[in-house]
Amino acid sequence: MGLLTVQQVAALAATKKPAFAVPWRKALMQYAPLYTEAVVGCALTDPCMLAAIVDRESNGENILQRGMIPGPGVGAGICQITFGVQWSGVFPSYPGYGNLMDPLTNLRVAANEFLEPALRKYPNDHIAAFAAYNLGIDGVGLELAEHVSPDAWTTGQNYGFSVFQDWINFSAVSMGVDVAWSQYAVAA
């Protein structure tokens, strides 16, 4: 296929939904089959998007947020789910899904409850959608209403773009294509 633009890789990934296959990322590869299983029924979320979220949130570690006492507001599992978590049992859980320390459950919650709605809200702006995973859809909406970057208030002020880069790179490698980042410009 040759060298593809970032936009071409994004379009191809949207149609192919490639299975995550980046063998040198061992911490992420351990969940490769689960990324694919977790997006079954999702129209917009693909396995490489979940791998990009996991990379940013926990680098593949199934953890409770470091430095925090377990309880409300603490990230749980490989996708570091914080919103809506129930802490009444032995393990943190999510209503209708179960134990968030189970990697597949964690990925399903991330895909269905957070990433898919964000992608629906921002269908033409993946960076805003990924930023919404970190900040929430309403938070990104406020940023955009104030005419600031969707990453202005995210962790590191680069969450959305960082996940976007990983998604494009993971998708390109997983599909066996090369991506031309030199032709990509971030919108001001």
Query: Domain extents for the chain?
Result: 3-56+103-177
Tokens for 148? Answer: 């600031």
Of the candidates 60, 58, 65, the one whose C-alpha atom is nearest the C-alpha of residue 85 is 65
Pairing outcome for strands 93-94 and 98-99: antiparallel
pLDDT higher than 60, residue 33: yes
Per cent of the chain over pLDDT 70 is: 98
Task: Grade residue 85 by pLDDT with cuts at 50, 70 and 90.
Answer: very high
Mean pLDDT (whole number) for 96-105: 98
pLDDT higher than 60, residue 169: yes
pLDDT higher than 60, residue 15: yes
Q: How far is CA 8 from CA 5, 32, 52, 134, 160, in A?
A: 5, 23, 18, 26, 19
- The pLDDT, as a whole number, for residue 1 is 66
More confident residue, 128 or 70: 128
pLDDT higher than 60, residue 187: no
Of the candidates 51, 57, 2, the one whose C-alpha atom is nearest the C-alpha of residue 171 is 51
**Residue 179 host element (H or E):** strand 178-180
Contact by Cβ (8 Å): 6, 181: yes
Mean pLDDT (whole number) for 103-126: 97
Mean pLDDT (whole number) for 57-81: 94
- The pLDDT, as a whole number, for residue 62 is 95
- The pLDDT, as a whole number, for residue 186 is 67
Return the CATH number of the domain spanning residue range 3-56+103-177.
Answer: 1.10.530.10
pLDDT higher than 90, residue 177: yes
Tens-place pLDDT, residues 117-142:
999 999 999 999 999 999 999 999 99
Helix (H, G, I), strand (E, B) or coil at 99: strand
More confident residue, 184 or 13: 13
- The pLDDT, as a whole number, for residue 188 is 45
